[in-house]
Chain A
């Protein structure tokens, strides 16, 4: 058992851990980087890419408090587009956007190095390996949404907060503030992490007299708060070009409270996240997925912390970690509004606890044989997770049987994308042909992403009178009206958007005949 009263120093830098974390990071990169365009763009990814496009092409970003998250992801994606040398938004690719979460998904593992003494070196390595191959972390590291960035920044805040607690300094206070400000500028749910950290911090570090944790300097606290506010204001004000942004970044919580109140499309029972991680079998075929072994290891870690049987690490930090993870898991579980990627925030804590559990199990009393079996078990868990990562991210990346696929664009949608390119190939005006997407509820995402090179594509709630598009993509409910209007001039067919969600596509007959002439 570690000595809780002894402050940890960073003088011990085990080379094997550095090498191990580098290998874990390299493995994480190998799992995350290939074939970033394999999975069709989710509607949310497409929507955020379009928003980034306004930033890259027009230099404009405006925080939308109703239906979008904070600005960090868009600015980072704009940076990615610039580094990629893309002339404009139309030239960007899936890689431009998805590389951003890939980078943070890998960097997350490297953050375990400064936590090596707080967690224990063995625990840090096991946690790093689990994060590297976890199907959920791999899958959402390839997903252009805010989650991986938020998870990285949250762990960054924990790291800088813990390092500050050991050795207060202005630099670390600024680090705390910057991480907190960036979290706020990334996603509104950061408040759940702040609250969990605060409660866990109070519960696990009862007073300044306890050795090993220094007192918080009021001046440092003011500096941290100032840094957080400054970072948040700079980003939400779009670098001082949009004064309302910072105000909206606070007012938005009114919208989120309404959303969290329930009775919405994304409402799910409290056990949704844990059930998803524990065991999922759905969709055609005998496919099942589970990260339950990580949950069990985390449970072992929590018990080791509770009964002071951890292999190494700082007991106070470990108690904080266990409580923080518990409170955050409860927080996300209680809120009715649930999307599967949201669980990454607390699942990161679970992975760290799993590392603690694994390390504790490796130290159980017994002969070498027992430890060999435990090590073999951990290796088997890592192997199983790696296999599932391959299955979820590369074999079934958009299949409803995949537990991490949520309201996702169907792979069948790519037939529509292909059809549009086929029509552009035979149209005299190429991709300049007139396309109308008619959808009263605006449920047409990710089409604007895939149509980004079609410069005469319009999106309408109802088809304007007098407009004669070459191609019309519409909700099936509008089919009868459109047949009455275009039945003589257009042929039509069905194409997929999401599983069971279809769109009727009207194609002008001269284009269709030109296309079919090349096929006969």
Chain B
């Protein structure tokens, strides 16, 4: 009896000391665009490719209040857009149509979002061109406190398996684009700037972005 009581007391103490954010985790509601049906399956084969999953995505839990903090925020890039406008990255249009598309030139490129202030960041939902099946190569994401990426730089996602971008050998898998976008769990990374890298795709050497949503809360 004594043991039961002490266990109960310990559990109550743990609950009382638990951070509010843990206790209040709740699923983020993602708004997905219309799916594209058409084209032929991508003939892609490799140990580093994630198998397509057609089941509904499980809930992604984040602290209460976590919301898309990137919508309408300022976007910059390493090279001028080949077509489209940089602000299309955060304008909320996630459609598969070409009119939703921001194009960057061939080779390794990046786009960067200024969230306006430091945030605690939990997830990034990223869409490249998803009309038909494509794999974008060397996808990597960094978060930092400054626009030049010199302070508190964190690599939060990286599937660049041969370290083309020089951000380290990526351990995450490549994936086939679809309407659900790529959900990246970035585990509470802190920062103001988010930089997204890619280097071509299975169709050509250019880079396409449709939308990036960064979910977080203002930094405590």
Binding site for B on A (CB under 8 A): 283-287, 395, 398-400, 410-412, 414-415, 476-477, 479, 491-494, 496, 499-502, 504, 515-516, 519-520
In contact, B204 and A285 (Cβ under 8 angstroms): no
Q: Give, as a whole number of angstroms, the nearest-CB distance from A172 to chain B.
A: 49
User: Separation in Å of the A490 CB from the closest CB of chain B?
Assistant: 11
> Do A285 and B202 contact each other (CB < 8 Å), given the known contacts A500-B42, A516-B163, A519-B163?
no
CA distance A415 to B160 in the complex (A): 13
A-B contact pairs, 29 of them (CB 8 A): A284-B83, A284-B101, A284-B208, A285-B98, A286-B84, A286-B98, A399-B204, A410-B204, A410-B205, A411-B200, A412-B137, A412-B200, A412-B202, A412-B204, A412-B205, A476-B43, A477-B43, A491-B47, A493-B48, A493-B161, A494-B135, A496-B200, A496-B203, A496-B204, A499-B202, A499-B203, A500-B132, A519-B162, A520-B169
Question: Does B158 sit within 8 A of A, measured CB to CB?
Answer: no
For residue B103, which residue of chain A has the nearest CB? A285
Given known A286-B99, A412-B204, A516-B169, contact A493–B46 (CB-CB < 8 A):
yes
Q: Which residues of B in the span 107-123 have a Cβ within 8 Å of any Cβ on A?
A: none
A284-B98, A493-B46 known; A519-B169 Cβ under 8 A = yes
Max chain B Cβ within 10 angstroms of own Cβ: one of A284, A395, A415, A479: A284
Cβ B204 vs Cβ A502 within 8 A? no
A284-B208, A494-B135, A519-B169 known; 7 other A-B pairs, CB under 8 Å? A284-B98, A395-B82, A494-B44, A496-B200, A496-B203, A502-B44, A504-B45
- In angstroms, Cα B83 to Cα A411, docked, is 18
A494 to B135, CA, bound (A): 10
Find the A residue at minimum CB distance from B81: A285
**Residues of chain A within 8 A of B49, CB atoms compared:** 494
Bound-state Cα–Cα, A410 to B132, Å: 17
Is B129 in contact with chain A by the CB < 8 A criterion?
yes
B125 close to chain A: CB less than 8 A: no
Cross-chain contact A501 with B43 (CB below 8 angstroms): yes
Question: Which residues of A lie under 8 Å from residue B132 when comparing CB positions?
Answer: 500
Q: Do A398 and B204 touch (CB < 8 A)?
A: yes
Q: B101 and A285: CB pair below 8 A?
A: yes
Task: Confirm or deny: B68 has a beta carbon within 8 angstroms of a beta carbon on chain A.
Answer: no
Q: Chain B CB within 10 Å — which of A399, A499, A500, A515 has the most? A: A500
Query: With A and B bound together, what is the CA distance between A286 and B208 in angstroms?
Result: 13
A476 partner residues in chain B, CB cutoff 8 A: 43-45
CA distance A429 to B84 in the complex (A): 47
Task: Report if B150 contacts A (CB, 8 A).
Answer: no
CB pair B83 A500 closer than 8 Å: no
Q: How many residues of B contact A (CB 8 A)?
A: 35
Report the bound CA distance from A492 to B49 in whole Å: 11
B40 an interface residue at 8 Å Cβ cutoff? yes
A364, B23: Cα distance in complex, Å: 84
Contact B43 A502, beta carbon cutoff 8 Å:
yes
Q: Contact: A410 with B203, CB < 8 Å? A: yes
Please provide the 6 A-B residue pairs with the shortest distance between their CB atoms, ordered closest to farther: A411-B205, A285-B83, A499-B203, A479-B45, A476-B45, A519-B163
Q: Which of B161, B169, B206 contacts A411 (CB 8 A)?
A: B206
B201 proximity list for chain A (CB < 8 A): 412
Bound-state CA distance A411–B105 (Å) is: 11
Chain B residue with minimal CB distance to A410?
B204
With a cutoff of 8 Å between Cβ atoms, the chain A residues found around residue B204 in the complex are 398-400, 410-412, 496, 499
Taking CB atoms, residues of chain B closer than 8 Å to A500 are 40, 42-43, 132, 202-203
Query: B28 interface residue, CB < 8 Å from A?
Result: no
CB neighbours (8 Å) of B162 from chain A are 493, 515-516, 519
Q: Which residues of A contact B135 (CB under 8 A)?
A: 494
Say if the beta carbon of B156 comes within 8 Å of chain A.
no
Encoded as 1 (CB less than 8 Å from any A CB) or 0, chain B from 177 to 208 comes to 00000000000000000000000111111101
B61 interface hit (Cβ, 8 Å): no
Tell me whether A496 and B163 are in contact in the complex, defined as CB-CB below 8 angstroms, given that A284-B98, A411-B106, A476-B45 are known contacts.
no
Complexed CA–CA distance, A412 and B44 (Å): 14
**Which residues from 54 to 87 on chain B have a C-beta closer than 8 Å to any C-beta of chain A?**
82-84
B window 2-47: CB within 8 A of A: 40, 42-47
B42, B46, B106, B208, most chain A CB atoms within 10 A: B46
Would B203 and A285 count as touching, CB distance under 8 A? no
CA distance A472 to B159 in the complex (A): 23
| Chain A positions within 8 Å of B205 at CB level | 410-412, 414-415
Q: Report Cα–Cα, A502/B41, bound state, in Å.
A: 12
Minimal beta-carbon separation of B51 from chain A (angstroms): 14
Assembly CA distance A414 to B208 (angstroms): 18
In the complex, the chain B residue whose C-beta lies closest to that of A519 is: B163
> Does the CB pair A415–B169 fall under 8 Å?
no
CB pair B203 A504 closer than 8 Å? no
B43 pairs with A285, CB closer than 8 A: no
Assess the A492–B47 pair: CB atoms within 8 A: yes
CB distance from B36 to the nearest CB of A (A): 13
Closest to B42 in A: A500
In the complex with contacts A410-B203, A412-B204, A500-B202, A284-B129 CB distance below 8 A? yes
Q: Which residues of A contact B206 (CB under 8 A)?
A: 399, 411
Chain B residue at smallest Cβ distance from A419 = B162
Residues from 130 to 160 in B contacting A, C-beta threshold 8 Å: 131-132, 135, 137
Is A400 a contact partner of B200 (Cβ separation < 8 A)? no
CA of A66 to CA of B179, assembled, Å: 45
Contacting residues, chain B, for A410 (C-beta < 8 A):
203-205
Residues A496 and B106 in contact in the complex (CB < 8 Å), given A287-B83, A520-B163: no
* Contact in complex: A502, B129 (CB < 8 Å): no
- Most chain B Cβ neighbours within 10 Å, of A395, A400, A412, A499: A412
Contact (Cβ within 8 A) A492 B46: yes
Contact among A287, A398, A479, A502 for B202, CB-based, below 8 A? A502
Q: Which of B45, B47, B205 has the largest count of A CB atoms less than 10 A from its CB?
A: B45
Q: How far is the CA of A306 from the CA of B38 in the complex (A)?
A: 48
The CA-CA distance from A492 to B47 in the complex, in Å, is: 7
